[in-house]
Chain A
Amino acid sequence: MKERLSALMDEELGGAESEGCLDRLDRDGELQDAWRVYHLIGDALRGHAGHGLPPSFADRLAAEPTVLAPRRAERAAQRNAWYALSAAASVAAVALVGWMALPLFEPPAQIASSQPAPAQATAALPPAVVPTAQGVNDYLLAHQRFSPSSVMGGMAPYVRTVSEAREAR
């Protein structure tokens, strides 16, 4: 997993895979630590260590000659955005557990960690089948009235929004 994290940092992962990785990151405190350490290392290598370091240490580090000049200097802005995202996500992970009575999207890891598949292949994959909790029903209800099928079927399609169906496989 840590290799993948490292690959993620280097932006060597595909969309789906990086999503999966970020998702793991959200839930795994150890990975979050590793993520921060990788960034510290990366920052240090680029000569602008900042986040989370005591100022004195950061100063000393900054005074050290730069050993490597990584090719992705121009991506610094994007990297920082990611860092912010992961930090926010880890806070969320700590503070907010058990959103709803039922897990909304049952096997997220499974979906999220799927290989970066080409679009056609993705279409062929059976979607993860999940129970529908109240939280999802809120979105369904909010969506339903905009559905042209509601005009053809009148209120009938609204049963979806309050359905107790639990698909399982």
Chain B
Amino acid sequence: MRALALAAVLAAGSVAAVAPVAAQQGTDAVGWLRKIYAATEKLSYTGTFVYQQGEHSETSRLTRVVDATGVHERLEILDGTPREIIRFNEEVKCYIPSTMTVKVDRQMQTGPFPAMRAEVRDFAANYNIRKAETERIAGYDCQAIVLEPKDNLRYGHKLWADVATGMLVKAKTFNERNEVVEQFSFTELQIGGRIDREKVKSRFAGKGRDWRVEQSAIVEADLASLGWGLRSLPPGYRKVTELKRSVGPAPDVGQIVVSDGLAAVSVFIEPLGTREGQPQVGLARHGALNVYVRKLENHLVTVVGEVPAEGVRRIADSVEYRRP
């Protein structure tokens, strides 16, 4: 009976006319999401967080400095082999010392990605959003926000944001069985204040010339003119952009990005045989990310997204080729 009442409340939250109070709360929760987005854009911070997926957890240090020149970020993985990701505005460099490789990902457009501009209305159609309890995390009083998916094509999320600044301090992702798929949680965090600029500088950059640089070479593209398209996307997803780029050693990969406002899925299309070895079709999971690979018309279609297996599979199935 209690469960039923709870379900009724949850359902009401999504239908404004039915229960004004619940709807009010929903709006408030949406306001919180906006606050999180805004905070992430403008705040400087430094801290240590733990990323957990399944049995595995990894500690990383994350520093972000926003100044007159833009956004500088550095993510350093502290467990296992050293790895580091440096971001300066739209350029992301990923240093992998074990292979002496630096992968450079540069976006052609400036400013934040359009789809990520808090299209809150967009994803309110796909999730029930509500405020939950307040909780103290890493020394900050946080407001919890719950996003429940309306179908099995996306994950559920619970976010904890600092009440004062809106900074995201903790995030959990749930699957359809309500199990935690992955979790990010700061254990120690300084928001604002003086942050040493050294903390956003790469410890690998400029050390010798032995690093192999892999440029991603992204350009906008019209994949439909090449015959590639998505036939019927699962409900709530729409196409956001399409590009041509390199992915690792493969030079000429089409990428179509679709999103439901909160989760994004990339469809990569490349001719078979550009990679060494035998590509294997099927499904793979990495934390909240699912990967589905299929072959189509002599091409390899790789679908990657932080959505459930069913979501990536459906999107992969929607890929079609029509001779242009």
Contacts and interface: CB of A to CB of B under 8 A. Distances in A.
A76 interface: no
B184 A156 contact: yes
A155 B49 CA distance: 11
Interface stretch (A4-12, A29-37, A38-46, A104-112): A104-112
A73 interface: no
Contacts of B99: 134
Nearest to B63: A155
Interface in B32-76: 33, 36-37, 40-41, 49, 51, 53-56, 58, 60, 62, 64, 73-75
A136 interface: yes
Given A89-B295, A145-B107, A151-B116, A159 B51 contact: yes
A119 B318 CA distance: 14
A105 B184 contact: no
A147 to B, nearest CB: 5
Nearest to A100: B277
B213 to A, nearest CB: 14
A157 B289 CA distance: 11
Contacts of B302: 139
Nearest to A124: B176
B124 interface: no
A11 B67 CA distance: 61
Interface string B252-269: 010101010111101010
A151 B298 contact: no
Interface string A147-165: 1111111111111111111
A22 interface: yes
Contact of A136 (B36, B261, B284): B284
A61 B299 CA distance: 35
A155 B87 contact: yes
Contact of B94 (A26, A111, A141): A141
A2 B277 CA distance: 26
Given A88-B272, A141-B94, A146-B266, A129 B285 contact: yes
Interface stretch (B125-133, B220-228, B303-311): B303-311
B165 interface: no
B152 A85 contact: no
Interface residues of A, number: 68
B324 interface: no
Contacts of A67: none
A98 B289 CA distance: 24
Interface residues of B, number: 94
Nearest to B312: A127
Nearest to A138: B248
A55 interface: no
Contacts of B264: 143, 146-149
A27 B278 contact: yes
Interface stretch (B17-25, B78-86, B134-142): B78-86
Nearest to B90: A145
A106 B280 CA distance: 9
A151 B298 CA distance: 35
A96 B276 contact: yes
A135 interface: yes
B202 interface: no
Contacts of B275: 96, 99, 135
Contacts of A53: none
B309 A127 contact: yes
Contact of A128 (B79, B81, B284): B284
A128 B107 contact: no
Contact of B278 (A15, A97, A145): A97
Given A156-B168, A160-B288, 11 more contacts: A23-B280, A97-B277, A134-B99, A138-B103, A138-B247, A149-B306, A151-B41, A154-B168, A156-B184, A161-B94, A162-B85
23 contacts: A89-B272, A92-B279, A93-B278, A95-B273, A97-B277, A97-B278, A119-B310, A122-B310, A128-B284, A138-B103, A139-B266, A140-B286, A141-B92, A142-B216, A143-B266, A152-B171, A153-B40, A153-B171, A154-B64, A156-B75, A162-B85, A164-B58, A164-B80
Interface of A: 15, 19, 22-23, 26-27, 81, 84-85, 88-89, 92-93, 95-100, 103-108, 111-112, 119, 122-123, 125, 127-130, 132, 134-136, 138-143, 145-167
Interchain residue pairs A-B with the least CB separation, the first 4: A99-B277, A138-B248, A151-B116, A123-B310
